[in-house]
Amino acid sequence: MKCRRCRAPAVIDVRRHNAGFCRDCFLHHCREQVRRTIDDFDMVHPGDRVLVAVSGGKDSLALWDILRDLGYDVDGLYLGLGIGEYSDESGTYARAYADERGAKLVEVDLPTGSRVAHRAPCSACGLSKRHLFNQAAVDGGYDVVATGHNLDDEAAVLFGNVLRWSTEYLGRQLPVLPAGNGFVRKVKPLVRLGEREAAGYCVLAGIDYQVEECPMAAGNRHLGYKEALNAIEEQSPGSKHAFYFGFLEKASPLFTPEAASGQEQLQQCAQCGTPTPGEVCAFCRLVERARR
């Protein structure tokens, strides 16, 4: 197969685009996909300071690298989740990337006593991540938090939300959530790239990343949805893209009013000031429970 752009021998193919690419053109292709996503959804404004949430995995490191290449003012944020060896290793990859390239990595640890590994499930972890990402962005004076969710991730989340008709989640499943109410803007510039493309980007760009998945993910629902979608994609390349982007274009506006009304009834958490529907936010309650 030949590179679609320069006709040199291809080193990677992207079935969804029915195209092969040489190394340089593939890296260019990935950057272009991200550039387009940022433009189309108006994700980053001139002068914005961007904080990218880095896990040490392929997606977040690829995203950090691409944003730097595209010239954004971007630093990394690593959250020590305290999930044993997995976290230690992930941190090593994130730090190595920053050190080798002279990039700035902000590090935050989950408060002692609330280590998610012991509290178990992903809901506690996800909750903590959302809270701490935002807190770190506010503290550091950043305008935007960027996460490395890729097309496979978003299509799988959408699949789960549709299966259950979780309408409030559907209303908030957008590649950009505006700032407001004490939250900085949240963006997902990688939604036009699949998981395999993110991995390919890292390999071809010479970025070492944590290949292991988080041990907590094994057997969870989200992975099941990914497998189901992979089987569909195999039969009909482009299905994930059509599913996710079709949703954004045709269905998502139907669900936004419901999500927006949930947002209006927020007050400040009595302990940390984060916007919350209750008196104390879910994160502070989690930390408290874990301390006991």
The DSSP code sequence of 161-221 is HHHHT-HHHHHH--SEE--BTTB-EEE-TTTTS-HHHHHHHHHHHT-----SPPGGGTT-H
Q: How far is the CB of 219 from ligand Q46 (least distance, A)?
A: 11
Residues 14-33 that bind Zn ion (CB under 5 A): 22, 25
Residue 217 binds ligand Q46, judged by CB under 6 A: yes
Residue 66 binds Zn ion, judged by CB under 5 A: no
Q: How far is the CB of 39 from Zn ion (least distance, A)?
A: 23
Q: How far is the CB of 55 from ligand Q46 (least distance, A)?
A: 7
Closer to Zn ion at the Cβ: 14 or 22?
22
Residue 125 binds ligand Q46, judged by CB under 6 A: yes
State the Cα–Cα distance between residues 93 and 98, nearest whole angstrom. 9
Cβ atoms of residues 21 and 5 within 8 Å: yes
Cβ atoms of residues 50 and 74 within 8 Å: yes
- Work out which of 9, 84, 113, 126 binds ligand Q46, going by CB under 6 A: 126
> Position 270: which residue type?
A
Closer to ligand Q46 at the Cβ: 1 or 223?
223
Residues 61-120 that bind ligand Q46 (CB under 6 A): 116
Site string for ligand Q46, 252-291 (x = CB under 6 A): ----------------------------------------
State the Cα–Cα distance between residues 103 and 75, nearest whole angstrom. 7
Q: How far is the CB of 125 from ligand Q46 (least distance, A)?
A: 3
What tokens does 244 get?
């996710």
Candidates 19-27, 122-130, 261-269, 271-279; binding stretch for ligand Q46 (CB under 6 A): 122-130
Show the beta-strand stretches assigned E in the chain: 12-14, 19-21, 49-54, 73-80, 105-109, 144-146, 176-177, 185-187, 267-268, 275-276
Count interface residues toward Zn ion (CB under 5 A): 6
CA separation, residue 44 to residues 54, 124, 192 (Å): 18, 29, 16
Q: What is the helix (H) or strand (E) element at residue 16, kind and residue range? A: none
Q: Kindly state the greatest CA–CA separation across the chain.
A: 63
- Work out which of 216, 232, 266, 272 binds ligand Q46, going by CB under 6 A: 216
Question: What letter does residue 10 receive in the DSSP assignment?
Answer: P
Residue 11 binds ligand Q46, judged by CB under 6 A: no
What residues line the site for ligand Q46 (CB under 6 A)?
116, 122, 125-126, 214, 216-217
What residues line the site for Zn ion (CB under 5 A)?
3, 5-6, 8, 22, 25
